[in-house]
Amino acid sequence: MRPAAFKNKSGLLPPMSYKVRAVRGPLIASLLSTLMTLTGLACSDSPAPPVAEPEPTTAPAPEPVPEPEPEEPFVEHTVAPGQTLWDISRTYEVPMARILEANEMTRRDARRLSKGRVLKIPGATEIQTEMRSRTVSLEDLPPIEDGAYHIVARGETLWDIATIYEKTVDEIMERNELDDAAVRALRAGSALVIPGIEQSQVAEFEPVERSARVRHTVDPGETIWDIARAFKVSTSEIMAANGMSRDDVQNLRAGSRLVIPGVERSGGRVRRRITKRQMRALSFARELGLGPRHVAQKLLRGEPERAWIEAAGGDPNRLPGTLRWPVSNGRFVRGYGSGEGGYHLAVDIIGEIGWNVRAAAPGIVGYSGDEVSGYGNLVILIHQGGWITVYAHNSANFVVAGERVPRNGVIAEVGSTGRSRGPHVHFEFIYDQRNCDPVTLFRPGVRHKTRMAFYEKRSWTDPRQRPEEVNCARRRRHPRSRSVLEETLSEN
């Protein structure tokens, strides 16, 4: 409680009227004096000292947003019949690599261009309807180290080129990633890589003199199949030599003049030209006794000689294990054990014009000809361990007896020769005097019309341990014939 001396009548302290000495103690007096001074300053009218304002901060300038690049112009080109990506690239002067990238295509896709496909052509501003010349300049082609470029000449076929360089058709197809459709689409001016040669070894195509060319006039009702069968050449060869598309084949007219490639006149007869490689193979076949009709009959009974098996290569006491589906896009139409009484101990595979028939396993050609009744143009292969495979009704055979072939090697073209209704391959698998069911051995599998059929896959390498799923039986005659009868093919 404060002393009474400090109060007035109202009981309030008179401001600043008391004496400091009334407060005891010098320390308290000093504090009160300081407090009073501060209170006076706060209540005075004098302006307060200025307070330093913080310096304004400058916000960083926003980064400039890049303007969107203008979209590259392009046109949409509709592929016409017979056009290749090379044709389109040269016409628009746009590298093939850019066209592939713009259309999200691979090089394999480029070889499968179909009529009517729409392609985006980057950098082009106007649709071109007239294609530039197909002649390729070597300077425009990328460098290669494993071969040299050959420019396809007018009238030249893949088989002609293989003959010139002593290569197999299969070797050239594999190096250039050609499928059957791409082979049919080859035209003059196309560039092919020939493996294993230098550019200095590239040969100039020497066209056959016009007077020496074999020409054929189409008869009323005659088809390209009929012509190919008559001259023993493939439909693909005729199409390539005459620059024909599939539409041209379908609309073939009587009176048309066609060049027949790969054949020559000799003594008033027309026969297929044989390569040097094939001549050596035929000489080897004669040493082994392969090639004649009686050999074909012996092989169809499943009775190969030991020397033939050894010539096929590999360990003669082991089997190849599996079989390759012999027509890449071919479709299964008839199976083992079908037909009246289950006589049909084979598999029938339907195909289309120009499709190749390929070796189901590596081996040696035991027979190539048309002397076995009902089978038409027939190829029989002998494989490691004594397996035998049969390919019948071919449009043309591309191999000769004594010729060694790799697995997947091209040996013939799908046809309809012999007693047959429609283009297909009659395939037989024979071992130890029995015809066997190959379906579980086929790789990648058995192709039906819209799908790959599911079978338990098996492998057969030990001659003494045949898989249970591989049924085998002795060859049966048709109930009403000794040869292959005409059969109606219906897809499954």
- 467 plus 412 within the same structural domain: yes
Domain count for the chain, please give it: 4
Which of 122, 153, 179 is where one domain is finished?
A: 122
The answer to whether residue 131 is domain-embedded is no
Per-run averaged pLDDT (10 residues), the chain, 492 residues: 47 46 54 57 53 63 69 88 77 86 82 82 87 66 87 81 84 83 75 90 62 81 86 84 82 91 74 82 96 96 96 94 93 88 90 87 96 94 98 92 94 89 92 96 85 83 94 80 44 44
Residues linked to residue 78 through DSSP beta bridges, in sequence order: 118
Question: Does 329 reside within a domain?
Answer: yes
Q: Are residues 444 and 327 in the same domain?
A: yes
Domain membership of residue 37 (yes or no) is: no
User: What does the pLDDT read at residue 422?
Assistant: 82
What are the angstrom distances between the C-alpha of 126 and each of 91, 110, 115, 198? 11, 22, 20, 40
The pLDDT value recorded for residue 26 is 59
Q: Clarify whether residues 221 and 249 are in a common domain.
A: yes
Would residue 197 count as lying in a domain? yes
pLDDT at res. 388: 98
Range of the domain at 222: 215-272
Q: Are strands 424-431 and 434-436 parallel, antiparallel or unpaired?
A: antiparallel
User: Are 157 and 237 in the same domain?
Assistant: no
Are 332 and 453 in a shared domain? Answer: yes
User: What was the pLDDT predicted at 390?
Assistant: 98
| Gap between the Cα atoms of 321 and 323, Å rounded | 7
Query: Do 424 and 342 share a domain, yes or no?
Result: yes
- Looking at residue 250, what is its pLDDT? 84
How many C-beta atoms lie closer than 10 Å to residue 19's C-beta?
Answer: 9
As a whole number of angstroms, the distance between CA 121 and CA 114 comes to: 16
Question: Based on the domain organization, do 336 and 400 belong to the same domain?
Answer: yes
Q: Are residues 333 and 355 in the same domain?
A: yes
Same domain for 326 and 460?
yes
Q: Is residue 128 part of a domain?
A: no
Q: Are residues 332 and 450 in the same domain?
A: yes
Residue 415 CA to residue 252 CA, distance in Å, equals 18
Residue-level pLDDT at 12: 47
DSSP assignment letter at 481: B
Instruction: Indicate if 411 and 325 belong to the same structural domain.
Output: yes
At which residue do the structure tokens 């294990």 appear? 321
Among 236, 273, 115, 138, smallest CA distance to 192 is for: 138
pLDDT at 7: 47
pTM, two decimal places: 0.69
Q: What is the DSSP string of 85-130?
A: HHHHHHHHT--HHHHHHHTT--HHHHTT--TT-EEEEET--S---S
In degrees, rounded to 5, the angle at the alpha carbon of residue 393 between the alpha carbons of residues 429 and 168 is 80
Distance between CA atoms of residues 389 and 19, nearest Å: 135
- What's the CA gap between 183 and 179, in Å, rounded? 6
**Domain CATH code at residue 85:** 3.10.350.10
Q: What is the largest CA-CA distance in the chain?
A: 161
- Clarify whether residues 304 and 435 are in a common domain: yes
Q: Are 424 and 393 in contact (CB under 8 A)?
A: yes
Alpha-helical regions (H) of 117-274: 158-164, 169-175, 180-184, 224-231, 235-241, 246-250
**What contacts 417, CB < 8 A, 6 or more positions away?**
229, 370, 376, 377, 393, 394, 395
Contact criterion met (CB below 8 Å) for 213 and 160: no
